Amino acid sequence: MRLTVLYFAWVRERIGQAEEVVTVPAEVATVADLVGWLAARGGGYAEAMAAPERLRAAIDQNFVGLDASLAGAREVAIFPPVTGG
């Protein structure tokens, strides 16, 4: 599956890019799986994904939990929690 992955805030800073297109293996079925697969790339990915509980995600611009399925997804955004004010 090919996905556009968008990174925001400190996630983007640690990875060093705002977005990329990736081809994920079939066993990557959820956002949590994607986070783990990205972390396994090492370097800034490992650092950015080290604490998945600190991450939030959106699939095709809809907020989702990390347990959300990637089936049919075209775009996944990964970002830290956002606060308003």
Does residue 85 sit within a domain? no
Distance (Å, rounded) from C-alpha 34 to C-alpha 64? 13
Round to whole Å and give the CA distance between 85 and 23. Answer: 37
Structural domain harbouring 75: 2-79
Bridge partners (DSSP) of residue 75 are 4
Q: In which band, very low, low, confident or very high, does the pLDDT at 57 lie, cut at 50, 70 and 90? A: very high
Q: What is the CATH number of the domain that holds 32?
A: 3.10.20.30
- Answer yes or no: is pLDDT of 7 > 80: yes
Rounded average pLDDT over 49-56: 95
Query: Considering the domain boundaries, does residue 9 fall inside one?
Result: yes
pTM comes to 0.94
Residue position matching structure tokens 């799986």: 33
Distance, in Å, from the CA atom of 50 to the CA atom of 40, rounded to the nearest integer, reads 10
pLDDT in tens, 27-41: 999 999 999 999 999
In a domain? residue 19:
yes
Mean pLDDT for all residues in the chain: 95
Domain total of the chain? 1
Domain membership flag for residue 74: yes
